[in-house]
Chains A and B, each alone.
Chain A
């Protein structure tokens, strides 16, 4: 079955960077885009961007451009999201999620990772 397993919780200082991994299994890795979404404490869901594991094409929400990088490792079927210049407002649970429609880049998501809590605190 489709599974997305994320890396564990992180605590970072302001100004630092964090990298969250999302290891996938149960399907052909290169065939489905992966989205990243976050939820800050007491806040709603926020879409951060998308990566095409086949070729590495990315598209980021304007808010995160220049600070976020989504990459992939096809040998391990893993996607990464790195966020730099962290501020306290980046404290959130970060999720990866797989699109529903194969190879679309324009579909909603069906399968989610379990989430990774990133805490930014001095």
Chain B
């Protein structure tokens, strides 16, 4: 199975900040990587697919980058609704494993 790691595991930031979350795969996955936002009591919200393509309806302050083993999710000008937990998932090889998540909370 492909192992996914994320850093940081948690992060405190302020409204208006720019944050970058990192996701790493233990083997190359091309650009077969997605990012999801998860809030308590809600279904995961897809943000990014194919490493850098924005899902429909997702604000442009979200962006993704990377390929093979190293990926980033950047959120420009944090908004109050962005405080959540973020997960990456590879879909290059089954099982389609998720990272352990990065929790973003308000400073």
Contacts and interface: CB of A to CB of B under 8 A. Distances in A.
Q: Chain B interface residue count: which class?
A: 20 to 34
Given A45-B87, A62-B95, A109 B46 contact: yes
Contacts of A97: 44
Chain A binding surface, main DSSP class: strand
B44 A112 contact: yes
A107 B98 contact: no
A5 B44 CA distance: 15
Nearest to A6: B43
Contacts, number: 56
Contact of A47 (B32, B43, B89): B89
A95 B46 CA distance: 14
B94 A46 contact: no
Contacts of B98: 37, 44-47
A59 B44 CA distance: 22
Interface string B48-63: 0100000100000000
Interface residues of A, number: 24
B43 A45 contact: no
Interface of B is mostly: loop
Nearest to A106: B91
A34 interface: no
Given A59-B94, A100-B49, A110-B55, A44 B87 contact: yes
B44 to A, nearest CB: 6
A50 interface: yes
Contacts of B43: 95, 112-115
A50 B94 contact: yes
Contacts of A106: 32, 91
A44 B34 contact: no
A39 B46 CA distance: 16
5 contacts: A44-B99, A45-B101, A95-B43, A108-B89, A112-B46
Interface of A: 35, 37, 39, 44-47, 49-50, 59, 61-62, 95, 97, 100, 106-110, 112-115
Interface of B: 1, 32, 34, 36, 38, 43-44, 46, 49, 55, 87, 89, 91, 94-101
